[in-house]
Amino acid sequence: MNFIQLKNLTKVFDNNEAVVKNINLTINKNEFVTLLGPSGCGKTTILRMIGGFTEVTSGQIILDEEDITNLAANHRKINTVFQNYALFPHLNVFENIAFGLKVKKLPPEEIKQKVDKVLTLVKLTEYQERKIKSLSGGQKQRVAVARAIINEPKLLLLDEPLSALDLKLRQELQYELKDMQKHLEITFLFVTHDQEEALTMSDRIVVINNGEIQQIGTPESIYNEPKNKFVAAFIGESNIIAGQYLGSKKVKFFDLEFECVDTEFALNEKVDVVIRPEDFDVVSSEKAKIVVKVDDIVFKGVHYEVIAYYGDFELVIHTLEHLQIGKVIGLTIDPFEIHLMKTDE
Amino acid sequence: MNKFKKINIFALGWNGLFIIVPLVLMTILSFSTTRGFSLQEIEFSLSNFSKLTESFYFIAFKNSLKYSFITTFICLLIGYPTAFILSKSPIKNKNLLLILIILPSVSNLLLRVLAWEKSFAANSILNYLGISLNLLGTDLAIIIGMVSIYLPFMILPIYSSLEKVENSVLDAAKDLGATKLFTFKKVILPLTVPGIISGIVLTLLPSATTFVIPLRLGNGKVLLIGNIIEQSFKKTFNFNMGSLISLILMILILSFMVLIFKYDREGETL
């Protein structure tokens, strides 16, 4: 275990701007880990430091018990799938994929054999003679993945590899990549700003903002138990309400008392209460503590998104029921769906 | 639309007057013997072609090839590394460096050639420094002159093709384990072939047809095809021979360009 370790990894650019601050992260062998965060949060810089393309200001990168912090990129047993594919425009599909093996001076028969195998894996066998220019976005993506995994890296870095593709293709490739990762037993470190992508593919998600880790956890725990306001707001939709912990699994918000399941707070401690829009149950007004009037309804396909105001506070509610604007409804929440977080202040 | 039509007619007239008419005249002159431009005693014949075999023309043609190839080769040898260093330079204002390279080309060609001529002479301003180059009339003088004048035409297209190579592609090569040398040989060089070709065209053609440089720096001893043409019109008044050689040169250059265009289907070279 502890296959990859980032120890106090920090990057300060020439203009004294710290883009990555003191990152500590451990990744296990064959794990699929996603760095998730908004653009400019430093996730790509972390990836580039691991890949060897950006110098580390301070801290350590350890891969399989070897300190690779200052090793040149071409000596690291790491391969990268770049954001804009970065394929060699003068080479065809076969030659692009074979590049890494040619660097290693493998005999041509062995190269051919290995490339054929990878071509089958990414379903591009008929395209091997094609010029890169004539490929579609999805095909280019497959070539980029094939070109990286053929080298059997210890770690595969993927820098927003699907961001340029349309939704359907993106989803398709998400499953394929996940499959491939299980199959090949390669450790994947994936960078994305798309929370849905992160939730779908990852074994663990590392949420990053402003160059700092906000939370590390499984997709379920990140979604259900966000550690702070940023994570709650960034992953999925949520209603974040200021509240107070009353002790013995009771919390007060909207000046009402609710039962909850969290216990790790002090008596009368101020907390942020997170309620996911789909966790509200719509009931008739006399059966609930929270009573609101429907302000707006948007049809979202599977569900309706209902906007309602409790006082001045805008609540977002997802429900399967078709309500009428202006209707007065009651909202109940199961105790285990009320999630408390420490306030940021 | 009307406005465009007018411009078109103007362009057509301009081309006709300054390209088609001279071409027709040259063709007529090539296939005839005349006394200067006077067409009164015109006699159509192929006698000009038989004169082409005279060793005099052959030597000039050979010289043109020799000097232009040597010049182009040296320009490539100096130009590629220069362009490479320039494109990799960490200096923010690369355009300034580029301008410094182009700047001499903006000054008058004749002036630059004369400057070389004065410095190459046995008695020159360099005598004050205890140097007497005394190079006039040598191959070296002509080649230094040619290289200095045509070098920017080699650097610029190579530089722009180097700038087009994306950094991410170089990162990818590094990522796949390639050393700097491997990356250069297998990625950078192939991707800059279009720039190299246009650099070669842009130096080869003018250096093959120049007449000022050999005239001044060769001290009149070395004749290139351009000198023959110049002399035919200005000294011997053999307009027929001058026209014929010009035409042949033109056909050679055009076929060279056609070859390049055929090779370069993607239109990146010129």
Q: Which CATH number do you get for residue B206?
A: 1.10.3720.10
pLDDT for B185-240, tens place per residue?
999 999 999 899 889 988 988 888 888 888 888 887 788 888 888 888 888 888 88
- Residue B220 within any structural domain of the chain: yes
Q: Is residue A53 within 8 angstroms of chain B, CB to CB?
A: yes
Domain that holds residue B214: 53-263
* Residue B4 within a domain: no
pLDDT surpasses 80 at B264: no
Judging contacts by C-beta atoms under 8 Å, the chain B residues touching residue A147 are 172, 176
Angstroms from B80 CA to nearest CA on chain A: 19
Which percentage of chain B shows pLDDT scores above 70? 95
How much is the pLDDT for B269?
A: 46
Residue A128 carries which DSSP code?
T
With respect to residue B199, please indicate whether it lies within any of the assigned structural domains. yes
CA distance A138 to chain B (A): 18
Radius of gyration of chain B (CA): 23
The list of chain A residues with pLDDT below 50 reads: none
Instruction: Name the domain count of chain B.
Output: 1
Whether chain A has a CB inside 8 Å of the CB on B267: the answer is no
B169 domain residue, yes or no? yes
C-alpha to C-alpha distances, A153 to A78, A81, A181, A268, B96, nearest whole angstrom: 5, 12, 12, 52, 43
A104 touches chain B (CB under 8 A): yes
In a domain, B159, yes or no: yes
Express each pLDDT in A281-322 by its tens digit: 999 888 888 889 899 999 988 899 999 998 888 999 999 988
What is the reported pLDDT for B270?
45
pLDDT tens digits, one per residue of B74-108: 999 999 999 999 998 888 888 888 888 888 888 88
pLDDT tens for each residue of A111-127: 999 999 999 988 899 99
Query: Is B96 part of any domain?
Result: yes
Residue A107: per-residue pLDDT: 94
All structural domains of chain A: 4-229 (3.40.50.300), 238-342 (2.40.50.140)
Is B17 inside any structural domain? no
Evaluate whether residue B185 is within a structural domain: yes
